[in-house]
Structure 1
Amino acid sequence: MLLLAISLLIVGCFSFPALAQDELVIGLILIGPRNDHGWSQAHYEGALYVEENLPGTSVLVFESLNTADAPETTLLDVVTEMVDQGAKLILTTSDAFEEDTLVVAQAFPDITFINVSGDDALTGEAPENLGNVMGQMEWGKLIAGCAAGLQTQTGKIGYLGPLINHETLRLASSSYLGARYCYEEYKGGDPEDLEFTVTWIGFWFNIPGVTLDPNEVANNFFDSGVDVVISGIDTTEAITVAAQRASQGEAVWAIPYDYVDACALGEDVCLGTPYFRWGPAYLEIARSVMEGTWEQSWDWLSPDWSDINNPDTSHVGYIMGNGLTEENAELLQDFIDMLAEFATNPMTPENEFGIKHIALWEGPLNLQDGTELAPPGQFVDPLDIWYLPQLLEGMIGPSQSE
């Protein structure tokens, strides 16, 4: 039998006794390492949250399932080993796992699968034992963009993007909308003068010889006159490069991504971080599986607007960074309050799935090639945001892979 690098979040060995109905073994499959200070660590800590809050749960972890770190290991290999160790709930925590999760879920019909960021449950392609979950990070990216638009002194913002897909296009575009709004409304600048450039590295994190080096991309941004870099990748290069440049006397800042404590790697240059809090969603899913009440769903989960940083209730949050001036921090809070008012207003329209419209995604808006996305006064349907096919007009950078 292939022995995989699966580890427990609890102290113990890999063998489990026969499980009672009030016990649940969860398999957590990560695209990167559990300590990446980014996307994978956020999921790892989300799984810890389940163990801490739901008696009878234990978690198996396989980290760094990707072509560079585990080139000969497949998702099927990992899932088979986890099921052999008693797992009844499998969390595949990346877009990169979506297609394989669909196949593997069909091979294990008695196991519940959750693919993060996918939409097979929405499109009807998923078997009945597969669901999807994702946080509405569009709100977090609006806030990140606003922070960048408030802080920039050069009027040049860089976006360090991963690969190109619907998710990354809509999140980069949300950052752009937030930056334009705050640059104009709070700073009094002409939004047409704001340069917002996206560079895609080719994957969620650096793979030497395969992707662009995110350290080089961040440095190139700063060399070109960009003074704020917003990260859209899983790892920390934007904040670490900004901290290095600032230590040499440069007035530069960064906005990391994914993980609540990402600012710790460069506190003085950090304008804040939009992050995911997976614990509450994972807890609800695990409880429903234990109780036998789980049903397939596609969940796109919004922040808790009464407190976006509540660790028990909010799926998406934003931590203010020390790099913000006092004035800009106050303005950013005003912007957050405006978003909260919009999101919680009973008059804010919903689409046919009951998903409320997202602030600033309102016409006139065009796609990068000039195609109209929304006429004046009309909101973009949330699912049209989900499946955004291009960057927005005014953004610099490709909308398709070369």
Structure 2
Amino acid sequence: MKTNKLWWLMSVMIPLTLIISACATPTTEAPKKFVFGLIMVGPKEDHGWNEAHWVAAQDVLKNVPNTDLVWIDKVNPADRPGVTIEQVSDDLVAKGAKVIFTNSAEFKDGTNNAAKKHTAVTFIHISGDAVLDKSAPANVGNFMGRMEYGKMIAGCAAALTTQTGSIAYLGPLIDAETRRLTNSVYLGAKYCWENARGKKDTPLKFEVTWIGFWFNIPGVTLDPTQVVNGFFDKGADVVLSGIDTTEALVVAGQRAKAGKKVWAIPYDYIGGCKEAEAVCLGVPYFNWTPAYQPLKYQDGKEFVKAGATADDKTVWYTEQLLEGVTGKSK
């Protein structure tokens, strides 16, 4: 991107309790590989939510010795009608998975049911809340990045950029997660509009439209391309995306090539700007790698032991720099 252009790039680094590492066997034989599974709601190369998980899984294979991955993507009613999380989990367990990550809020019931059947397998439901609402079996954990802060910064970037005073949000389905993230975008935008730009007396227009799912399903959801075009037609000049795919950025790029002054902010994936960098203000993205592999201190000691939680006190009193950082800890 040009250096005189406003851009924001945020990484949501996530401390985690889950450790994927195989214990060495006491025999002289080579240890068996530790197999972990990944169940994704969308395509693994969507330049969004699912690709961020796929990249994390590849990082595990690269950095954690003696691991192997079994996986399936596009587990949704459009791509795989009738296929359930329980069925997919059966298959991954049969292939040796000892830990299975499921990566969509819609997988809650299926993950819990699969965990009840496969009690020796640990299930990590990304973005789920079964642990919070006490419905999770003992072998189910939940995990989610604190994206609210990244979304606030994205909203601020939009407010600092807009020339029309109108920004829009391309929403997926409506649930607790999407409401709080949309609210975060709005609060960040409102703050920077009123305080950084000094426009307290000029209302900022902020519109959200929900397409009905995390990505386009023809005949089921609204078409995100049409929704984004509608935003721009009504006067918005910055569109922020809350869906898994890149339609907001693609449409903004097309309009910019036609001479329009418009911008977009994608979501989820570090490489989200690549399809139209000239109009991309940055991307609030997830780095899931710490969620899929262990974090260690420089001396090899685990940052958080298996089964423990990286609470605020643990993070506050960090003992050393992490493995991979060059420099003194004390």
> How does the TM-score come out when normalised to structure 2?
0.81
Matches within 5 A, 1:1-400: 23-190=33-200, 193-284=203-294, 294-295=306-307
- SS in structure 2 opposite 1:193? coil
CA 1:107/1:192 → structure 2, altered by over 3 Å: closer, same or farther? Answer: farther
- SS in structure 1 opposite 2:144? strand
Deviations 1:120-172 (A, max 9, x none): 11222111110011000001100100000000000000000000000000000
Q: CA deviation at 1:295?
A: 2.6
CA 1:64/1:128 → structure 2, altered by over 3 Å: closer, same or farther? Answer: same
User: Which whole-Å CA distance do the structure 2 matches of 1:219 and 1:88 have between them?
Assistant: 45
Aligned residues: 282
The answer on whether the counterparts of 1:131 and 1:296 sit within 8 Å (CA) in structure 2 is no
- SS in structure 2 opposite 1:250? coil
The answer on whether the counterparts of 1:150 and 1:187 sit within 8 Å (CA) in structure 2 is yes
User: Which whole-Å CA distance do the structure 1 matches of 2:152 and 2:257 have between them?
Assistant: 28
CA-based RMSD: 2.5
CA 1:241/1:62 → structure 2, altered by over 3 Å: closer, same or farther? Answer: same
> Which segments of 5 or more consecutive residues in structure 1 lack a partner in the other structure?
1-18, 286-292, 305-309, 314-402
User: Which whole-Å CA distance do the structure 2 matches of 1:217 and 1:299 have between them?
Assistant: 40
Q: CA deviation at 1:26?
A: 0.7
User: Which whole-Å CA distance do the structure 1 matches of 2:181 and 2:114 have between them?
Assistant: 29
Q: Which amino acid aligns with 1:154?
A: T
- SS in structure 2 opposite 1:198? strand
Instruction: Tell me what 1:340 maps to.
Output: none
The answer on whether the counterparts of 1:129 and 1:296 sit within 8 Å (CA) in structure 2 is no
Deviations 1:284-318 (A, max 9, x none): 39xxxxxxx64386999xx99xxxxx9x89xxxxx
Q: CA deviation at 1:76?
A: 1.3
Q: CA deviation at 1:92?
A: 0.3
Q: CA deviation at 1:28?
A: 0.4
Q: CA deviation at 1:98?
A: 1.2
Deviations 1:96-124 (A, max 9, x none): 11121011111110000000001111222
Identity across matched positions, percent: 52
Deviations 1:331-388 (A, max 9, x none): xxxxxxxxxxxxxxxxxxxxxxxxxxxxxxxxxxxxxxxxxxxxxxxxxxxxxxxxxx
CA 1:183/1:190 → structure 2, altered by over 3 Å: closer, same or farther? Answer: same
The answer on whether the counterparts of 1:257 and 1:273 sit within 8 Å (CA) in structure 2 is yes
Q: CA deviation at 1:74?
A: 1.2
The answer on whether the counterparts of 1:258 and 1:275 sit within 8 Å (CA) in structure 2 is yes
User: Which whole-Å CA distance do the structure 1 matches of 2:202 and 2:71 have between them?
Assistant: 47
> Which segments of 5 or more consecutive residues in structure 2 lack a partner in the other structure?
1-28, 296-304, 317-321, 326-330
Q: Which amino acid aligns with 1:257?
A: Y
State the 4+ residue runs in structure 1 displaced beyond 4 angstroms: 19-22, 296-300
- SS in structure 1 opposite 2:45? coil
Say which structure, 1 or 2, has more relative contact order (CA 8 Å, 6+ apart).
2
Q: Which amino acid aligns with 2:199?
A: G
- SS in structure 1 opposite 2:141? strand
CA 1:261/1:148 → structure 2, altered by over 3 Å: closer, same or farther? Answer: same
Range with bigger deviation, 135-144 or 19-28: 19-28
